[in-house]
């Protein structure tokens, strides 16, 4: 293993796996803190998917360090801590504490914090995060159900979470190339700064930053930060990329879409599915809370739909409705109820022979994948930037597309299936 990574949610982990695979590394995804039973076989990169984005910071630190220790013991030469390209966290939140704990563990004197993912519209300029052409604080992320992002200045956001001083490497330096960036790392270190936000406007910047990070024990950021890292190992090791396939074999069985993300992108994808005449059913959280709607009801509805097209069950709500629900039921309580119910639906559908799932939302995917007993994922073809098909190779045999709430084109729920080749039942 050359690169070991710890991701704070499962859709983020698949996003990172896709990036590392695209750059030629044989990459596997392990769900949860790895135990001695997981064989890393001949992977160049292993990404551990946690569900640690919104849990108490001390627990996130413990799980992340436990995972990192296993990866380092298995030979990982560089560690990535992957979080969201929109820096999803709260002031009590986990990016700073986990980064600092991993710095202690790896002995990395200085590390970077680079969430940028230009292919998905996330860039950083003068330390400010943009989503498309809006500041983070003016983007739909200001209304995220669990981690509303209201401050676009990442130096400020990260400093509120860190004990160590946070610094900034600006776009003008990145434009000068990797030697200038390396020199800036050293200058910032000499000035006492230990975690550095790095401006990034383009993929070319990501490659410059990646080159400057050769030999850095710990790198933190979004999946974009991994774009330039495999090249360092290719130069030093010459590893051979495996062939990439345009389509992925999927086990025989029915398909379903489960959406627990309230993002603008996911809500648009739900509207597109409705407009295309797909069968859709809404999880009504008030009805679930008082027992008028159950996971069994929702699953039975899906089972009863004709098998030709995947049915969609969604809980997604717009910002005003969500604010009302959260005021009544509590932010975490309502979120957890939705997650539990969708996980129950998924388990029932898997028991009924559904084998292909498209799941929208990071926390949602984490809850569902855990309920399904999925342990290890292989990475298949890219549906849209940041979202690949995956196949479970340990536990149940399933094809899974775990979509970050924010990612994907409006027709994502319609087109994703075209990349699968269905195996016959007796194959």
Ligand X SMILES: Nc1ncnc2c1ncn2[C@@H]1O[C@H](COP(=O)(O)OP(=O)(O)O)[C@@H](O)[C@H]1O
Does residue number 15 form part of the binding site for ligand X (CB under 6 A)? no
Regarding 388 and contact with ligand LB5GJZVW (CB under 6 A), the answer is: no
Q: Is 363 in the site for ligand X (CB under 6 A)?
A: yes
Closest distance of CB 332 from ligand LB5GJZVW, Å = 15
Residue 317 in the binding site for ligand X (CB under 6 A): yes
Q: Does 269 bind ligand X (CB under 6 A)?
A: no
Binding partner of 339, given ligand X, ligand LB5GJZVW, none, CB within 5-8 angstroms per partner class: ligand X
Q: Which of 1, 6, 12, 27 binds ligand LB5GJZVW (CB under 6 A)?
A: 12
Question: Which of 212, 227, 140, 224 minimizes the C-alpha distance to 176?
Answer: 212
Q: Tell me which residues in 114-143 interact with ligand LB5GJZVW (CB under 6 A).
A: 117
| Cβ-proximal residues to 79 (8 Å cutoff; 6+ apart), any chain | 3, 4, 5, 6, 68, 71, 72, 102, 106, 217, 218, 219
Contact of residue 19 among ligand X, ligand LB5GJZVW, none (CB under 5-8 Å per partner type): none
DSSP bridge partners of 394: 376
Q: Which stretch binds ligand LB5GJZVW (CB under 6 A): 39-47, 79-87, 235-243, 418-426?
A: 79-87
316 contacts ligand LB5GJZVW (rule: CB under 6 A): no
Rounded-to-integer distance, Cα 145 and Cα 100, Å: 26
Asked if 146 interacts with ligand X (CB under 6 A), we say: yes
| Phi-psi domain of 361 (left: phi exceeds 0; alpha: psi -120 through 50; beta: other) | left
* Beta-carbon contacts of residue 154 (< 8 Å; ≥ 6 apart): 87, 113, 115, 124, 127, 128, 129, 197
Q: Is there binding between residue 140 and ligand X (CB under 6 A)?
A: no
CB nearer ligand X, residue 144 or residue 217: 144
- Counting residues that bind ligand LB5GJZVW (by CB under 6 A) gives 16
Among 85, 111, 341, 390, binds ligand LB5GJZVW (CB under 6 A): 85
Task: Provide the β-strand partners of residue 376.
Answer: 30, 394
**Which residues, at least 6 apart from 190, have a Cβ–Cβ distance to it below 8 Å?**
none
At 393, give phi and psi (nearest 5°).
-115, 10
State which residue has the least CB distance to ligand LB5GJZVW. Answer: 362
Candidates 322, 346, 368, 376: give the one binding ligand X (CB under 6 A): 322
- What is the per-residue burial (b if ≥16 Cβ within 10 Å, else e) of 324-345? ebbeebebeebbebbbebbbbb
* Residue 85 binds: one of ligand LB5GJZVW, ligand X, none (C-beta under 5 to 8 A by kind): ligand LB5GJZVW
Classify each residue of 376-391 as buried b or exposed e, where b means 16 or more C-beta atoms within 10 Å of its C-beta. bbbbbbbbbbbbbbbb
d(CA 310, CA 372): 18
**Residues 365-424 interacting with ligand X (rule: CB under 6 A):** 404-405
Q: Which does residue 295 touch among ligand LB5GJZVW, ligand X, none (CB within 5 to 8 A, set by kind)?
A: none
According to DSSP, the residues that pair with 31 across neighbouring strands are 49
Q: Are 421 and 248 in contact (CB under 8 A)?
A: yes
Q: Which residues contact 382 (CB under 8 A, 6 or more apart)?
A: 18, 22, 388
Q: Which of 395, 417, 386 is nearest to 20 (CA)?
A: 386
15 binding ligand LB5GJZVW? (CB under 6 A): yes
Q: Which of residues 196-225 bind ligand LB5GJZVW (CB under 6 A)?
A: 222-223
Contacted by 386, from ligand LB5GJZVW, ligand X, none: CB < 5 to 8 Å by type: ligand LB5GJZVW
Q: Tokens for 341, please give them.
A: 């119910």
> Hunting for tokens 């049915």 — which residue is that?
311
Among 230, 362, 380, 388, binds ligand X (CB under 6 A): 362
The residues that touch ligand X, with contacts defined as CB under 6 A, are 144-146, 260-263, 285, 315-317, 322, 325, 334-335, 338-339, 361-364, 404-405
The residues that touch ligand LB5GJZVW, with contacts defined as CB under 6 A, are 9, 11-12, 15, 84-86, 117, 222-223, 361-362, 386, 404-406
């Amino acid at each position: 293993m050359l690169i070991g990574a710890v991701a704070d949610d499962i859709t983020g982990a698949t996003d990172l796996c896709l990036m590392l695979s695209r750059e030629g590394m044989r990459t596997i995804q392990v769900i949860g803190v790895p135990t001695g039973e997981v064989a890393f076989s001949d992977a160049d990169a292993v990404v551990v998917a946690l569900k640690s984005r919104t849990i108490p910071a001390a627990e996130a630190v413990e799980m992340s360090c436990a995972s990192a220790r296993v990866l380092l013991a298995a030979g990982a030469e560089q560690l990535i801590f992957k979080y969201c390209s929109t820096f999803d966290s709260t002031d009590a939140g986990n990016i700073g504490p986990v980064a600092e704990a991993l710095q202690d563990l790896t002995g990395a004197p200085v590390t970077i914090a680079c969430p940028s993912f230009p292919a998905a519209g996330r860039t950083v300029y003068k330390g400010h995060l943009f989503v498309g052409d809006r500041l983070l604080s003016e983007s739909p992320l200001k209304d995220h159900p669990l981690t509303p992002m209201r401050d676009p200045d990442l130096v400020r956001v990260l400093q509120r979470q860190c004990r160590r001083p946070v610094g900034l490497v600006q776009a003008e330096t990145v434009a000068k190339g990797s030697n200038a960036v390396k020199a800036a790392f050293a200058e910032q270190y000499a000035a006492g700064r230990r975690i550095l936000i790095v401006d990034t406007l383009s993929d070319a910047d990501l490659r410059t930053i990646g080159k400057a990070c050769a030999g850095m024990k710990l790198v933190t950021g979004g999946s974009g930060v991994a774009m330039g890292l495999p090249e360092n190992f290719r130069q030093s090791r010459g590893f051979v990329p495996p062939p990439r396939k345009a389509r992925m074999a999927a086990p025989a069985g029915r398909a379903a879409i489960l959406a627990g993300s309230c993002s603008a992108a996911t809500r648009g994808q739900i509207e597109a599915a409705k407009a295309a005449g797909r069968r859709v059913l809404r999880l009504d959280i008030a009805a679930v809370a008082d027992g008028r709607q159950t996971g069994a009801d929702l699953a039975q509805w899906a089972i009863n739909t004709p098998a030709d097209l995947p049915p969609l069950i969604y809980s997604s709500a717009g910002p005003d409705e969500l604010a009302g629900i959260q005021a009544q039921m509590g932010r975490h309580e309502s979120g957890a109820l939705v997650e539990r119910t969708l996980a129950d639906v998924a388990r029932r559908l898997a028991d009924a022979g559904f084998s292909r799932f498209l799941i929208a939302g990071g926390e949602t995917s984490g809850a569902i994948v855990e309920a399904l007993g999925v342990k290890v994922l292989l990475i298949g073809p890219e549906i849209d930037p940041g979202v690949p098909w995956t196949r479970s190779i340990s536990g149940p045999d399933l094809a899974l597309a775990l979509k970050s709430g924010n990612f994907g084109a409006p027709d994502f729920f319609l087109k994703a299936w075209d990349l699968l080749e269905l195996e016959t039942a007796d194959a």
